[in-house]
Amino acid sequence: MSDTKAEHRNSQRFEVSIPVEILGDNGCTLAKGATADISDGGLMLFMPGKVAPKLGSVVGVHLSILEHHQAGCPDKTKEISCMARVVRHRPIDEGRLIGVGLQYLQPLDLKLEEKASRACTHS
């Protein structure tokens, strides 16, 4: 039996590795890593099972997105912080790693579609 609600998405997902830091309710870092995929509505990352936040909990998210500019202009890193709810756990490697699906409390406008099309036309 498939859970179609769990797979319903309002934003296109992009399989891209973006540095991410997950913060607990006390502001302390739970995990640092990289996204497995990301959209304007949420992200998936992998972390050790023993530190994964509980389903339904709210965590802080800090993203560091590298912005590519035209030739001759230096790239810049855009820092984004927001809150997200844990909506999915996907155990991997007998639970030692867990894929954690996060849904932002407020959708972000990361302009991922624009960046993806720019990357395709400039490669």
The CATH number assigned to the domain holding 51 equals 2.40.10.220
**Average pLDDT score over the chain:** 83
Number of compact structural domains in the chain: 1
pLDDT band at 65 (very low <50, low <70, confident <90, very high): confident
Contact 101, 42 (CB under 8 A): yes
Confidence check: pLDDT of 110 > 70: yes
* Residue 32, domain member (yes or no): yes
| pLDDT classification of 4: cutoffs 50, 70, 90 | very low
Distance, CA of 18 to CA of 5 (rounded, Å): 26
**pLDDT of 107 higher than 80:** yes
Predicted confidence band at 2 (pLDDT cuts at 50, 70, 90)?
A: very low
Q: At a CB cut-off of 8 Å and minimum separation 6, what does 11 contact?
A: 39, 40, 41, 42, 107
Residue 24 falls within a domain, yes or no?
yes
Q: Hey, what amino acid is at 60?
A: G
Asked whether residue 23 is domain-assigned, the answer is: yes
Q: Would the CA dihedral through 38, 45, 23, 7 be positive or negative?
A: positive
3-state SS assignment for residue 72: coil
- CB within 8 Å of 3: residues ≥ 6 apart: none
pLDDT value at 1 more than 50: no
Cα–Cα distances in Å, from 118 out to 16, 36, 70, 107, 114?
15, 21, 11, 22, 6
Note down the domain range covering 15: 11-121
**pLDDT-derived band of residue 120, with 50, 70 and 90 as boundaries?**
very low
Residue 6: inside a domain: no
The fraction of the chain above a pLDDT of 90, given in percent, is 46
pLDDT value for 121: 46
Q: Is residue 2 part of a domain?
A: no
Amino acid identity at 4: T
Does pLDDT of 36 surpass 90? Answer: yes
Does residue 111 register a pLDDT over 70? yes
